[in-house]
Structure 1
């Protein structure tokens, strides 16, 4: 950690200074980073704004990695309060576009061909610029109109540096700040880092886009751009140009059919979730376009959600239980989704769910927000220290985006009417006797396979035990604390021994000098000073070593 801190010292200083400026000086102090703060003249700490706004401004100032961190954190409404979530959802990338010559250089290096050999025309002015890359309009030699997304130069190195620093800071924070463990920030960061590294690789985004496009072709509710794989790499993504407008601009006055658009969009999204289990993870209005023929097209598949068949079936049961105000169904679904922990107090959880049922029993179904209801259920799980899977938090964010878009385009549409058929299909599939028999057959085959190899595995265990080669691994939760305590005791003992040695040496020199009257070589030397110097050096060296270890 120390080597990385020295290597990234200037970035540590930027982060510590930004934290201090936006009113988080207590965190800087608790992490022991006050010496890294660079106070700028004429710049006063932001203290008047709300904490949520200060967090957003802080992340925007620290750049792409931290903006992306905030965007991922905005999906975890089960962990953070609404005021922070609403601010994080407004995070913006304040980044300028990079020069066309760099764009040209990256494309030619990636495609191993000159720009004119790949494109009949290429617009030097970008359509949009973001933290990861920027988009240009172009035309292929074959005549198709496309958009080309090019990854920003050096962005991978910047993001990896920031990820290393954040990981170091979280390790420090876990030891010193109790609320870090409470909000599960380390787990959230691991999830965030994985998502961000995937966004850096345009090949993954291309695969996601193609998968959504192909699985949506049969129903035709929505579509996605076509990917041109011959012109796409890890740093360059070429896809078909969408001739349309943002969904918020598709108004009746502009000649569009908002109700039809809203219905197609919602059905398409729920089909992705409940039929295919693979869906767009961030369908905000900027990622939803509408063509002149009122066709909905999704773009930007850097973030996607995944739901297993079993999770989809349990989710359908949860939604049916929610709308039928059936606490038992909701509780069983949460157990089936493995959200509720075995050691949780199930009676207390059931009582909290029952209180939620009573609340919704007083409301008309049309008044119930699906996103809010799911959020309250996840809040109950979090209250009882149960971890909601990241796939469900991405789902929740997507459902929230769907509800907002429906409220804007067609307030009269009821989301329950759109989602109900998908839910009932999943429940029927769950109890389908043919599928149940097939599943039982597969499980029986797995069991027989396990039983077949069991005797051989037991023989290996017995032979290893006879040769005294049987290893047993133990996990003791307090082992790290025990090791830490032993280090403390050892260092303090070493400290005491050095102090004792220092005292004995000094006493021997002084007593020896006072008892002898003869002039010896030792007496003619500044032995007291030399002894004091050596002992002092050893003393300071061991103290520095102990303090540096952080275990004193």
Structure 2
């Protein structure tokens, strides 16, 4: 039954793709080529929109296939290292909007999750959702203490829908591997694995709540960014309650100007918030599109929707800082060398060729005014170039590149003359100084000194134990050396015995052959017989020499 359902879904996907003139995607799966040819003869094929860009056609097809495919397309849009640029940019426009489910279903789910009537927890509850997406929808409510909150509720039955479509995506990935060998370089099964993890995290609203709490703690008291408070006592796997955010949507540029907000400062603050998240905290909001950002009357950023977050380790931060600084100094040798030293590319990589490739894609960027230079596009070109030299780009870096690209676009929409380098360069130089210079060494020394001081009384015993183990190790090694020498001696002896056995056996056989060749004539021994007896005697002597002895 499951296989029949999957077949029906696959045929529908084929029909939708052919309707949107995406035959190349169907052709990749040989099993559906006859069905594709049948569909091509349909009358409506006469009106195929071949003049519409393929990215637009693919986006529209995914929107028609439903919520899970929309979210999968959105995830793919964060991987421009895997997709052509035109498709990645178009998939980023996918809209995750679906009709809301009933208020009765929302109330029932909230009451089941919290364990009581709605009135127990909320003094007011708006039955009309303010937002509705494929996984959840949001209602506005008020607590009994007067606090206004946003209540996010998972869609009823969404888990089974997602599991069904995930099985289908895995099937498509395996079919692509089997019937479309060029698709292997995109690692389709691994891409679906990544999507599966992301979508399952979205199905547990406690994960998003934890993300919001962490980001809020990182910016506690900040005038740059406000993150809503999580009401943990009202948060469950299927329900999340957050402080409601008020403000002007950041996409409403005219409204921001009318409120008297300094647009230049607002744009620069957005860049600073991004670099602070990435380099200070190593934890950043990876879905900062205009729909998720509001601005207070004082010009403070206010973020919502914390389902997609990125993390950076110290190695990632150093990689990014070194490459950004080298890029803006036009030091392409430093860019190539940093990749080699960090182990991002193979040790045998030709540094001169790698530097030349980086120069080829980066130098045209500087033909533009510096205010038009894009960090995000630089990273994209860098990743694409590095992949040619077998660099496996880490997903967290690609997610950061996509986020940076969005931040740049948003900042220049707010303030067209935004110079990212004016904000970013001092920040990166300060970070490099603090984490890689003498100050970083002293800071590390201060941080680690209490641990060393606490361990100081234990050092003599640790030293004694180390020496004792070293002595035991030396004794064990000497014993192993003696055993090895004994094995070598026995091997040489066995080889000698084998040599004598082979030589003696050969002599005996040769002697027997010669003895059979001649008989004594008139009592006189023939030379063959004399030779045969001599060989036989030599063979017997050799065999005795090689005969095993009790104590070799």
TM-score by shorter chain over 0.5? yes
Give structure 2 stretches of 5+ with no counterpart: 456-462, 484-552
- Deviations along 1:361-399, one digit per CA (max 9) or x if unpaired, are 555533422112122111211233422111111111111
- Deviations along 1:172-231, one digit per CA (max 9) or x if unpaired, are 211210221123333222222211211121111000011111101254311211111111
SS in structure 2 opposite 1:85? Answer: helix
The change in CA–CA distance for 1:406 and 1:337 in structure 2 (over 3 A counts) is: farther
- Deviations along 1:28-78, one digit per CA (max 9) or x if unpaired, are 353413577796987548442322112111111111111111111111122
The change in CA–CA distance for 1:253 and 1:34 in structure 2 (over 3 A counts) is: same
TM-superposed deviation, 1:139: 0.5
8 A contact 2:267–2:412 mirrored in 1 = no
Match of 2:442 in 1: 434
The change in CA–CA distance for 1:336 and 1:197 in structure 2 (over 3 A counts) is: farther
**Is 1:273 equivalent to 2:271 in the alignment?**
no
Between structure 1 and structure 2, the one with the greater Rg is 2
Please identify, of 148-157 and 181-190, the stretch whose mean Cα deviation from structure 2 is larger.
181-190
2:421 to 416, 421, 428: 416
SS in structure 2 opposite 1:252? Answer: helix
In 1, the alpha carbon distance for the partners of 2:67 and 2:341 equals: 38
The change in CA–CA distance for 1:359 and 1:132 in structure 2 (over 3 A counts) is: same
TM-superposed deviation, 1:320: 0.6
Match of 1:75 in 2: 78
Give structure 1 stretches of 5+ with no counterpart: 467-552
In 1, the alpha carbon distance for the partners of 2:42 and 2:115 equals: 49
- Within a 5 Å distance, the mapping from 1:353-372 to structure 2 comes to 353-360=358-365, 362-372=367-377
**Is 1:317 equivalent to 2:322 in the alignment?**
yes
In 2, the alpha carbon distance for the partners of 1:34 and 1:323 equals: 50
Match of 1:492 in 2: none
8 A contact 1:12–1:36 mirrored in 2 = no
The change in CA–CA distance for 1:47 and 1:240 in structure 2 (over 3 A counts) is: same
- Deviations along 1:87-125, one digit per CA (max 9) or x if unpaired, are 111111341110011101110111111111111011111
SS in structure 1 opposite 2:123? Answer: strand
8 A contact 1:138–1:145 mirrored in 2 = yes
**Number of aligned pairs?**
457
The change in CA–CA distance for 1:435 and 1:332 in structure 2 (over 3 A counts) is: farther
CA RMSD of aligned residues (A): 3.3
- Within a 5 Å distance, the mapping from 1:289-328 to structure 2 comes to 289-328=294-333
In 2, the alpha carbon distance for the partners of 1:376 and 1:392 equals: 13
8 A contact 1:137–1:148 mirrored in 2 = yes
SS in structure 2 opposite 1:76? Answer: coil
Match of 1:17 in 2: 15
**Is 1:236 equivalent to 2:242 in the alignment?**
no
**Is 1:98 equivalent to 2:134 in the alignment?**
no
2:60 to 40, 57, 61: 57
Match of 2:124 in 1: 121
Match of 1:142 in 2: 145
The change in CA–CA distance for 1:155 and 1:36 in structure 2 (over 3 A counts) is: farther
In 1, the alpha carbon distance for the partners of 2:363 and 2:268 equals: 30
In 2, the alpha carbon distance for the partners of 1:93 and 1:295 equals: 27
In 1, the alpha carbon distance for the partners of 2:427 and 2:405 equals: 18
SS in structure 2 opposite 1:166? Answer: helix
8 A contact 1:244–1:290 mirrored in 2 = yes
Match of 1:349 in 2: 354
The change in CA–CA distance for 1:183 and 1:253 in structure 2 (over 3 A counts) is: same
8 A contact 2:19–2:48 mirrored in 1 = yes
8 A contact 1:60–1:67 mirrored in 2 = yes
In 2, the alpha carbon distance for the partners of 1:151 and 1:181 equals: 35
Please identify, of 283-292 and 326-335, the stretch whose mean Cα deviation from structure 2 is larger.
326-335
In 2, the alpha carbon distance for the partners of 1:219 and 1:452 equals: 55
TM-score by length of 2: 0.75
